[in-house]
Amino acid sequence: MTRGVLVCIEGLDRTGKTTQTTSLLEKLDKDGVDATLIKFPERTTPIGRIINTYLTDTAFELSDQSAHLLFSANRWELAEKIRSLLEDGKTVVLDRYVYSGVAYSSAKGLPFDWCLSPDIGLPKPDIVLFMKFKQEENVTREGFGEERYEVAEFQQKVKTQFEKFQNEDNWRTIYVDNKSIEEVGEMIWTEYKVTASRRREALQYFSKL
Ligand code: TMP
């Protein structure tokens, strides 16, 4: 059986990732593709519950290293599920993943390579769709500022770290300025179709960059 496609949607806070992952799932369903959405952080697991407290309660202090390792551990909680869905021929859509993990923590000043280390060995996406907005746009969106990292200067640093992945083979930048939700959805769908139509190699895993 051909394995499923591992698709990842990434971007800064309030860039429309959740809207687009939902819309991608609807298109996959209409196309007869059996697909599962997994959002990180997955806040309902034991580690996810701690992450949720950390993100929503500024009085709950963790060192940057501890927070980073919890986000990574949260991905490892789901790693076997992702691998087995893919091996069963299912498509998996990820709303944030390793790239957010590395970008947010290295933006705080932790070394980039150190940030990637605990994620080495996790399934690697066939395609990463990075939603790129003008900085000013996401910070003016409704809800911005409600969680720990939603601070304009910090978002700019995260963007710089995300862009370090842009030469990776699986990376596609989706420019979303002045585009409607439907137009962005079409760009994502086109990129997905190209990837899905290619012959799939064995599943890849994260290794050193
Ligand atoms: P969310 O708004 O997509 O639920 O993500 C919550 C916040 O967690 C968001 O500001 C990005 C941040 N984050 C990390 O710092 N490290 C990670 O590994 C992940 C997945 C998210």
Looking at this predicted complex, what is its ipTM? 0.98
Q: Best of 10, 19, 38, 55 to mutate for ligand 1, by most ligand atoms within 8 A of CB?
A: 55
Q: Dump pLDDT digits (tens) for 65-99.
A: 999 999 999 999 999 999 999 999 999 999 999 99
pLDDT value for 96? 98
pLDDT value for 174? 95
Q: Which CATH superfamily is domain 6-197 in?
A: P-loop containing nucleotide triphosphate hydrolases (3.40.50.300)
Q: Dump pLDDT digits (tens) for 128-159.
A: 999 998 756 677 777 778 888 888 889 999 99
Label each residue of the chain as H, E or C: CCCCCEEEEEECCCCCHHHHHHHHHHHHHHCCCCEEEEECCCCCCHHHHHHHHHHHCCCCCCCHHHHHHHHHHHHHHHHHHHHHHHHCCCEEEEECCHHHHHHHHHHCCCCHHHHHHHHCCCECCCEEEEEECCHHHHHCCCCCCCCCCCCHHHHHHHHHHHHHHCCCCCEEEEECCCCCHHHHHHHHHHHHHHHHHCCCCCCCECCCC
- Delimit the domains of the chain by residue range: 6-197
- For residue 209, pLDDT over 70 is answered with no
Mean pLDDT of 34-62: 97
96 CA → ligand 1 middle, Å: 7
Ramachandran angles phi, psi of 128, nearest 5°: -120, 120
198 CA → ligand 1 middle, Å: 31
Atom of ligand 1 nearest to the CA of 71: 18
Q: Dump pLDDT digits (tens) for 172-185.
A: 999 998 899 999 99
Ramachandran angles phi, psi of 38, nearest 5°: -125, 125
The whole-model pTM stands at 0.95
40 CA → ligand 1 middle, Å: 7
pLDDT value for 69? 98
Contact residues of ligand 1, CB 6 A cut-off: 13, 40-41, 55, 71, 96, 100-101, 104, 147, 149
